[in-house]
Structure 1
Amino acid sequence: MLFIPVSLWNLIKVVLLCINALAVLNEERFLRRVGFGYRPEVVAQASVKAQIINLLHAVRTLMRIPLIALNITTIALSLLAG
């Protein structure tokens, strides 16, 4: 059996990569084609799909600057730690 140690640092990197993946989704090219484009009339509903659309929109708008800082910090710490 293969044993892979999971540390807090690895979990932080996984979460950061997942947030990055959500942030780079293009609304015009991808999200609208699959029905997850941001539209105010859909977002006003209380469905699961509306909550996912709200999450995607919030990550792309509010997390842009913090993600840049977190990515730079993570890359620098990974380079220093080896």
Structure 2
Amino acid sequence: MAIGIFGLLEVMLLFVNAVAILNEERFLARIGWARQPVDPYAQESVKARLVGLISAVRTLMRIPLIGLNVVTILYLVILG
């Protein structure tokens, strides 16, 4: 992995990939991070916000991640 901007982008892509593949039933529920019903009058905790972020990444980034991964793989194969 090269040091620089592309290296930083590659690390961020790997991190988003890791978040996107987390399974809520098999992994997140085991550690107590499954989505809970939200009380509209209660203030959200940091944990609830992180669970929401994980859910949003899994939902919204599925198709863009496929394209970004293909572009990254092609770049690394062609330019090494």
| Superposition TM-score, scaled by structure 2 size | 0.88
Structure 1 residue runs of 5 or longer lacking an equivalent are none
The Cα RMSD (Å) is: 1.9
Number of equivalent positions: 78
| Partner of residue 12, structure 1 | 9
Structure 2 residue runs of 5 or longer lacking an equivalent are none
- Per-residue CA shift, 1:32-79, capped at 9, x if unaligned? 111111233279742101110111000110000000000000000111
| Distance in 2 between residues matched to 1:38 and 1:74, nearest whole Å | 32
1:42–1:22 CA distance, 2 compared to 1 (3 A): farther
| Superposition TM-score, scaled by structure 1 size | 0.86
Seq. identity, % = 51
- Whether 2:20 is the aligned partner of 1:23: answer yes
